[in-house]
Structure 1
Amino acid sequence: MTLAATDRPLVASHDAVLLDLDGVVYRGGHAVPGAVEALNQARDVRLAYLTNNANRPPEAVAEHLRELGLHPAVEDIVTSAQAIAGVIAHDVPPGSPVLVIGGEGLRSALRARGLEPVDDRHAPGLAAVVQGYMPDLGWRDLAEAAYAVQAGAPWYASNTDLTIPTAEGIAPGNGALVHAVRLATGREPVVAGKPYAPLFEETMERIAPSSPLMVGDRLDTDIRGARQAGIASLFVLTGVNTLVDVVNADPQERPDLVGAGLASLHQPHPAVAVERGAARCGEAVAEIHDGAIRVAREGAETETLRAIVGLGWACRDESGLDVTVDERIDA
């Protein structure tokens, strides 16, 4: 697999940009540097914001984005809570009570689908249990989920991200909490968030783009999910995964394009030529010696990243061995 290329600004090749939020647009309460400016320049494409974080309802997410300087409509926000609520509504009778282990985002999504969120696993006619991220979730909440699942309730999870980027660093995500219930019950949940199909299906149904581009910071969710959904993907270095991670990514988690951040939406992505242990992209040249990639000549930021990744993939595919990157350029 090689990186896709375009001689014009990347955003000109797509009619919709699907954006992960945590680690791409913001970290915690603060915008990723340059993200707001880059998105406000994207005037001729539809922007949709896809989040695996099920804690907040779309109205709250939209308000947060507006506070950062963006201009989304509520309909532009697609959450894993909405996606999993749609899955549950397909599986259980209308009006069914569903035990919620999570925040208001899950509750409002269930109500919107005609289901009844409840806090008591003994509620008459309990049809399912659904689990999603909430910062205040504790042991007792996880125990209630485990008891309900052990008693036979169908188990659903908004997402299984093991980590979540915050303003202070990388913290445990919903996947870590789901894993605790999995260990206690020996069961597997039905999952809606990236990389699984329901969140992408919800988005495609809502905005119906002809040439979408998914932008993400996680290889195992954003990029893998986009590949499985047949959507072009841009990986950015502002969140969870690093340059070394993408250089050594398995083929099913390799993005079509790479960039330092969202400014790369407005830049060309020249073709990468690899030959005899070196890669050239525009003015940039990367070389590999003893399994370590270094930059022999700097180009534009996107050119340099593309030369590194293109060379890393070619060498890894040939040798099957992991590749390192000079620490001075590892983002």
Structure 2
Amino acid sequence: MTDSVRTRPAASARPLHEAYDTALLDLDGVVYAGGEAIEYAVESLEVARRAGMRLAYVTNNALRTPQTVAEHLTGLGVPAQPDDVINSAQAVARLIAEQVPAGSQVLAIGGEGLWVALRERGLVPVDSAEADIAAVVQGYGGPQQPWERLAEAGYAVARGVPWFASNTDLTIPTARGIAPGNGAAVEVVRFVAGGSPQVAGKPQPPMHRETILRTGAQRPLVVGDRLDTDIEGAHGGGVDSLLVLTGVTTAAQLLAAEPVHRPTFVAADLRGMLVAHPEVRASGDGFDCAGWTARVRGAEAVLTGEGEPLDGLRALCAAAWTAADEQGAASEVPRRAGGAGPGLSAAHRDGDRIDAEKALAKLGL
């Protein structure tokens, strides 16, 4: 289970796919990007599956149905059934159904995945604020979502209809780069109508509850690419996590992570599920990991040694996180290498205490 305040990545003498019974895998930025499999993902997942690890795909993206996602994964070479897919549409539909009468009409701003999830909970999705609606819910509707759909949500929220959101991810990774996510659409409605929605998706508890109910995991490992959803959600649920650097989060942002955003393990990609993870040890005024030593001197993170780049990053995490905690606030940790971005609080964006640019450049990160 996760530490209340993690100061360094954890070690595992066993490969992670043997140490945990279920991988709760994010999709966008972890398994695929823009519909295409991320390098090493298919092969890594097959090894884990054959070894007996259950693979569950947990996504904040509410656009597609579990059936569609399972077919997509299978087409990529990752065998999956609809029951293997848990999305934020399912979590928010359950949340709404617990608060409104069965059979209620719900203004649904989103794609097919959201509409199907609402119907599964005995709710009736509609597309107009003029209907007799008991709630309004927003889920990612894809890049072609019409502007007038957001206007309908604004009309309903402004007159006091209970407001829900599948998730509030501001961005989503695509094959062409980072694009606006559902959170950006939620902010549009907030701007015109005020207030805040009840949110079901990661990192909020309803998503974790939905995942555990559907998978029955006993020793789950959350695998994701975002600090502010995947890793924070794992922290809130009291389970271990693996951050992969194939999506939104950069190495610089990882070094700047506040305590709730610090993963248990870190890896370049999903091959990190299949290996043991080395110990990071305190050594004098620094931290050692498999041939690397990292320390903070004044305002700079210094890295010496040689070896695998990810081991150097693990040592840097320990040095940066420990320095931040010793300074009394994780918000004081650096951002110079790569700037602020998803997963960083406003306080982190203002912080500039530690310069890790040279250290990360030495690792090629």
Aligned runs of 1:35-184 on 2, under 5 Å?
Answer: 35-42=41-48, 43=50, 44-123=52-131, 125-134=132-141, 135-184=143-192
- Give the SS at the match of 1:91: coil
Q: Deviations over 1:188-224 (max 9, x none)?
A: 1011100101111111011111110001111111111
- Relative to the length of structure 1, the TM-score reads 0.95
1:11 aligns with 2:39: no
Structure 1, unpaired ranges of 5+: none
Aligned runs of 1:312-323 on 2, under 5 Å?
Answer: 312-319=320-327, 320=329, 321-322=332-333, 323=354
2:299 and 2:100 map into 1 onto residues whose CA distance is: 53
Residue of structure 1 aligned with 2:31, choices 11, 15, 25: 25
Output the aligned Cα RMSD.
Answer: 1.5
1:63 and 1:175 map into 2 onto residues whose CA distance is: 26
Residue of structure 2 aligned with 1:190, choices 178, 195, 198: 198
Residues 12 and 77 of structure 1: is their aligned pair in 2 closer, same or farther, counting only changes over 3 Å?
same
- Relative to the length of structure 2, the TM-score reads 0.87
Q: How many residues align?
A: 330
Residues 282 and 171 of structure 1: is their aligned pair in 2 closer, same or farther, counting only changes over 3 Å?
same
Percent of matched pairs sharing the same residue: 50
- Give the SS at the match of 1:143: helix
1:10 and 1:292 map into 2 onto residues whose CA distance is: 33
- 2:349 maps to none
1:294 to partner: Cα distance: 4.4
- Give the SS at the match of 1:235: strand
1:36 and 1:161 map into 2 onto residues whose CA distance is: 25
Structure 2, unpaired ranges of 5+: 1-5, 334-353
- 2:355 maps to 324
Residue of structure 2 aligned with 1:308, choices 293, 297, 316: 316
2:29 maps to amino acid: G
